[in-house]
Structure 1
């Protein structure tokens, strides 16, 4: 019990420290300088001279491409699912439903964070020339946001990674983190999100909220409750 309490405290201190560092430096200071460097580094390659890269970022930032990130998570989940016994498969379905419910709840909770700012494309556009992939490709893609903090897309990916860690161990977590990095990168490269929208904002909120859920019996209670609604007849043992 003491170890669990210490872990929860640690994750909360970590998350709060990230949010405070963002709050006090997102317009000037360390995080702003870092965010600006990341944005300008990638934006220089979106000038149209690298057509393949330009269209890759455009495609991976299209709303429909979110289906691909969902399929990547579903595929990894299935890799663990098909190895389980029938009873554990029922539990994994319950865990998957619980994951979706928590994702919706955490997304709503994130709206109460008193930090709001526009994406780097909108922030820098009045002051300097920047490359907008939506204008260069005339492709309906996301390269701007009026309120980009926290990164909702990155937060959903991180929630998945946290659940995989809790229920399937370190190897599953590392595999999930690879998915987080791959599918959160296009938003940052395009300038639709600052680096810190994802790796400070999303990470902080996920760390704070999920520590109270995944490190306590709450997650098992919810999973067992949802398990009641999953018919056993579909998972009969042969």
Structure 2
């Protein structure tokens, strides 16, 4: 094991136990009658507070409409990837490929956790329609911007909004960056995660619990079992072996070949 390499998935028992306890405690707080009422009240208050700001100013509506389309999701993913593999952001040049491969491994684990958890939510009757569907008088940006809805699919409603998978990916990236970013770069990373979770809440595509319970639970459990055990390291090592034959070819490509993530470590 390279002692100078910070990106190393390994057994971290306190974190593994703590993250699992936190995730299940959060889920339990939503299910217990005593605290369920608090979540329900918070759900409605957050939705009315955020969705109620719409139809007040055109620029404000455009902001949340544009950040709620599928194209924006792709651009956000590109931004997250860019910050992950940028040699002057968080990771040192020799860490770029391990960081990239470890994050791919985290995503792979998240997909499995998300599928299993969603099936459980359906079986237990936890699924529900989004706030914009259930609340009378909700403002739907898809009706205000029919052109964006028609061309780009504006995400402001869902018949099954729990859990918030969009939020879970953002939170997983945030948890990973939290291990290595410091100072203003850490604050920027946290700020990006929080900001890009907001559009789904403003438009009513998700309730607060979809993000703060479902999304957080998936991210915590995925990170715990992937990075606080050797699992992500094993997956990343396998991906490294698969990529090796392609590296010489990719390194010869213009622009792409200059990426630090493709250079020899």
TM-score category (smaller protein): 0.7 to 0.9
For residue 80 of structure 1, report the CA deviation from its aligned partner.
4.1
Provide the residue aligned with 1:119 in structure 2: 130
Cα separation, 1, equivalents of 2:22 and 2:38: 17
Residues 134-145 of structure 1: matches in 2 within 5 Å? 134-138=142-146, 139-140=148-149, 141-145=154-158
Equivalent residue for 2:227? 214
Q: Secondary structure at the match of 1:208?
A: helix
What is the alpha-carbon distance in structure 1 between the residues aligned to residue 113 and residue 59 of structure 2?
36
Shift of 1:224: 1.6
Query: Is residue 69 of structure 2 the alignment partner of residue 62 of structure 1?
Result: yes
Query: Where do 5+ consecutive residues of structure 2 fail to align?
Result: 1-10, 252-262
2:157 pairs with 1:149? no
Report Cα offsets for 1:60-104 as digits up to 9, x if no partner. Answer: 111111112112201211224786445x44423422432342332
Aligned to 2:239: 226
State the partner residue of 2:26: 18
Aligned length: 229
3-state SS of paired residue (2:64)? helix
Of the structure 1 ranges 75-84 and 36-45, higher mean CA displacement relative to structure 2 is found in 75-84
Q: RMSD of the alignment, in Å?
A: 2.6
Q: How does 1:1-238 map onto structure 2 within 5 Å?
A: 4-24=12-32, 29-46=37-54, 48-80=55-87, 84-85=92-93, 88-114=95-121, 115-125=126-136, 129-138=137-146, 139-140=148-149, 141-166=154-179, 168-169=180-181, 174-231=187-244, 233=248, 234=251, 235-236=263-264
Answer yes or no: is the 8 Å Cα contact 1:43–1:130 preserved in 2.
yes
Contact 2:20-2:221 within 8 A present in 1 as well: yes
| TM-score of the pair, normalised by structure 2 | 0.76
Give TM-score scaled by structure 1 length. Answer: 0.84
CA contact (8 A) 2:109 2:226 kept: no
